[in-house]
Amino acid sequence: MRPETVAKIVRRMDLNNRRMAYQIYMHYCKGRIKPESCASLVVAMINSDNISSRSIWAALDIPIWAELPEHRKHPSRKKSLSKSRINLIHKMATAFSVSKVRSPRVALRNVTQCWQYLSAHGVEPMPEMSKAIVHLGVTRDIEEYNWVSTDRFRWVFDVVAKCEGQEVADEMDRAVYKWRQYLVQESDARFREANVLGTGHLI
């Protein structure tokens, strides 16, 4: 059976059985058709709790960027990517950012992989990439009432400035600053309430 025919079958499959669709793709389609022709399967795999992130990247024949030697991270000649491949990577970033089966840390690692893959090929990421990164790197912390990591925020800020412009990045910076102020004020208020004797901080 021709790979194109198998790909059509995979696309029509009930993607509730994602593991089977993945296995069929890997056996009959990988290396024979472009993975972007099965974009719906790729997104479904991201939302499947029995398919690892590493397996998803293997299906696309894309190495894990963080594991590459330095000379491969910054090739002298950058292979151009098709528009359909670029769109697929952006869809993947969005899917990882809202996936309910990936932990925030794993999701952010994979969105970062999307970013690095595009950057390594000289592609300017689109705004949806920065939105995915902001959701995982900033919004989730705020939703979960956590402090936004300074080091991570610096990176997120640079991503937003590059994808959406300095004005948008500055607006986000102000919002995070206000959030941190709020957390500090809340912490001080709780300390004052608990410190009924007014003894000050213990050393």
Give me the residue spans of the domains in the chain. Answer: 1-61, 63-203
- State the sign of the Cα–Cα–Cα–Cα dihedral 128, 179, 154, 157: positive
| pLDDT, position 203 | 46
Residue pair 62/42 in contact by the 8 Å Cβ criterion: no
Which has the closest alpha carbon to 102: 164, 39, 48?
48
Higher pLDDT, residue 82 or 20: 82
- Give residue 173's pLDDT: 96
Question: How many angstroms separate the CA atoms of 153 and 172, rounded?
Answer: 10
For residue 24, the model assigns a pLDDT of 79
Asked whether the predicted pLDDT for residue 94 surpasses 70, the reply is yes
Place of tokens 């412009």: 165
Percent of the chain with pLDDT over 90: 54
Q: What is the pLDDT of residues 49-82, one digit of tens each?
A: 889 999 999 999 999 988 888 877 776 677 789 9
pLDDT tens for each residue of 98-150: 999 999 999 999 999 999 999 888 998 999 999 999 999 999 999 988 999 99
Q: Is the pTM of this model over 0.85?
A: no
| The pLDDT of residue 1 is above 60 | no
Residues 6+ away with beta carbon under 8 Å from 178: none
Report the mean per-residue pLDDT for the chain: 85
Say if CB 118 and CB 81 are below 8 A apart: yes
